[in-house]
Structure 1
Amino acid sequence: MTPLDEIDRQILRILSEDATQSAGAIGRKLDMSQPATWRRIKRLQDDGILTGRRVDLDQEALGFGVTVFLGVKLATKGRVSLEDFERAVSAIPEVQSVQHVLGLYDYRLRVVARDIADFERVLRRRIMTMPGVGNVEANVLLSEERRPGPI
């Protein structure tokens, strides 16, 4: 893997703000040619640094007004494997992310719902009924500031 220089870092910053930009548009911002910019982007992809591009959806505009972070402690790790829990919880459409964490809880889940009543339905009927689920702690998201990571 080639070490990153300042131009690579600038390309990553630009793409983290808007991944739909063309190599030509990025090159104009950096006073580089389109082919030179494209080659750098291709190298970042080949080296596994740039792993994809994604679309961020506005959950609220789609009707999901509540986001809750759940801390889940498994009650019986021996009877339910971590992989089984991850697979089962990932099948719930409202669960947006599943993170295996170290600390008070075994997992941190990001769950979206239409409102608090909808979240309660998901929690009671889908999550709490899963085998092995022990303690659960919910934290409702009040606001969120999104920032690109350090580059």
Structure 2
Amino acid sequence: MSGLDATDLAILRILSDDATRSAAEIGRAVGLGQPAAWRRIKRLTDSGILAGRRVIVDNAALGFGVTVFLGIRLAAKGRTSLEDFERAVTAIPEVQTVQHVLGQFDYRLRITARDISDFERILRRRIMTLPGVGQVEANVMLSEERRPGPLGAS
């Protein structure tokens, strides 16, 4: 969708910061009435620009204090092996994201675990037994800073 105006971008910034805000609140923030703000939000949703609303869960508060990024290179790279790997890896609850990437590895996974021992269990019993897994490289996250993304703050 092209033709986003400054009001559309302001609405996107507001929603990307707090998706729970009502159309009335958003309208007040951008100088529109609630019905006009709702129509714009619906148009952004219908066009696919707004692809959903998510809640951010504090993993540490739930007892998941370790986040690890895994680079995985598959031993074989046929279409079947990619599909088998993706199907199996997405069934593991500790795997938060699965990214098919170009570069040294074929996949990048974000895994949450209670602690390093829990991560080791996940790695040995779940990740290393996945179909087609060849090389694996782990990077433990030390800290994370939230970035505003392409919309930035204007």
The TM-score bracket by the shorter chain reads: over 0.9
Structure 1 runs (4+) deviating above 4 angstroms are none
- In the other structure, the counterpart of 2:31 is 31
Q: Verify: 1:77 aligned to 2:106, yes or no.
A: no
Which residue in 1 is equivalent to 2:3?
3
TM-score w.r.t. length of structure 2: 0.94
Q: Residue 22 of structure 2 aligns to which amino acid in structure 1?
A: S
SS for the counterpart of 2:89 is helix
Deviations 1:96-147 (A, max 9, x none): 0100000000000000000000000000111112221110000000000012
How far residue 150 of structure 1 moved from its aligned partner, in angstroms, is 1.3
Please list, as runs of the form range in 1=range in 2, the aligned pairs for 1:2-151 lying within 5 A after superposition. 3-78=3-78, 81-151=81-151
Quick one: which amino acid aligns to residue 58 of structure 1? Answer: D
After TM superposition, give the deviation of residue 2 of structure 1 in Å: 5.1
Report the TM-score, using the length of structure 1 for normalisation: 0.96
- 1 CA distance for matches of 2:150 and 2:133? 35
2:18 maps to a residue whose letter is: D
Q: How many residue pairs get matched?
A: 151
- Separation (CA, whole Å) in 1 of partners of 2:19 and 2:54: 8
Deviation at 1:24, TM superposition (A): 0.4
Percent identical among aligned pairs is: 74
